[in-house]
Amino acid sequence: MTPSPPTCRPGCGACCIAPSISTLDKPADQPCRHLTPDLRCGIFGQAGRPACCAGLQPSLEMCGETREQALAWLADLERRTATA
């Protein structure tokens, strides 16, 4: 039996903080303007949600076991993929 893919961890929001989102002019390590106080996407499922956000899916590798691990993994990915 294949395990189900992970779902977003409540109270995390790492993917809305650590990476930059160019279509929203959001720099890395800053909360997205659509991040709600309970650390959820305020435009989830809406047409205006950036494609990079819609395409990002939780995974064990990215999310780790804690919010801090997810923030660190995404921050490292941002550093490795940043353009000068």
Return the pLDDT at 20.
Answer: 94
Q: What's the length of the chain?
A: 84
Q: Please answer whether residues 35 and 41 qualify as being in contact, where contact means their C-beta atoms are separated by less than 8 angstroms.
A: yes
Three-state secondary-structure class, residue 78: helix
Return the pLDDT at 4.
Answer: 63
**14 DSSP assignment:** G
Return the pLDDT at 19.
Answer: 94
Return the pLDDT at 8.
Answer: 85
Side chain identity, residue 64: G
pTM listed for this prediction: 0.84
Domain ranges of the chain: 14-81
Return the pLDDT at 45.
Answer: 87
Give average pLDDT by consecutive 10-residue segment, the chain, 84 residues.
72 94 94 95 90 90 94 94 73
Q: Please answer whether residues 44 and 35 qualify as being in contact, where contact means their C-beta atoms are separated by less than 8 angstroms.
A: no
- Residues facing residue 21 across a β-bridge: 26
